[in-house]
Structure 1
Amino acid sequence: MPTEANLRGAYGTFGELVAACEKWCEHINARVHRETGAASVDRLAVERAHLHVLPGEPHTAALGEERLVNDDQTVRVGSARYSTPPGHVGTRVWCRTVGEELVIVAMTNTGTCWWPVQIPRWRPLSGEVSGRR
């Protein structure tokens, strides 16, 4: 970073830098925009009425067909069994074909939300793989 843009020396703590950034954002967002004739903070309040709430979990239809991981850490897809990593017994996973591979996806908690994560990829053991895309 160029020295003239480095803010490290201007603030004693990271908290002071955060406070300065918040103050700057409040100042900028309160200014009247020359094209719209309204402050950004006011426009946001109007636009929020037109936004919809995002779901807490992603739509799983695109992930493939749902399966339950068996006690032996496998899922059955078509007429074959595919193993999953430890820790997934009894959980839901989704299976789909991508190209020539079977993809198994599980939901992982990131701390703030649930997120789909690819666990293994397998070359299909049989000619039939459900959830083909």
Structure 2
Amino acid sequence: MDDATPPAGPRGPDTGLLDEYADRVLSVAEGIPPGRVMTYGDVAEFIDRGGPRQVGRVMALYGSAVPWWRVVRADGRPLPGHEREALEQYRVEGTPLRATTAGDQRIDLRRARWDGSGDGVEGHI
């Protein structure tokens, strides 16, 4: 490879170049209906590749371009550092929430989880 040939794979978030895995993760995130969520592990399982950490890495680097608040941690807690913005989105979209004994808000995964099928009304993982 000479100096004029760019390296393969994803680049920084400002270049717009994504690898196939990142593109698939972002496509799934984009397809999650309002008011529904998938965990990082759900997304990895749906695309049948990688795991929660790989999905989390893609979302950390490129997720601002999609409804990132719909891809969540397995415990239902909003993304640390983005709790206020995420909770606002959940309220606007009608995402089912539940209060913990400590009074914190979490996503009610039993009701909000989506499996990628249909229009999101029927699909549960």
TM-score by length of 1: 0.20
Q: Which structure has more helix as a fraction of its residues?
A: 2
Could you say which structure has the larger radius of gyration? 1
Query: Which of the pair has the greater relative contact order for Cα pairs under 8 Å at 6+ separation?
Result: 2
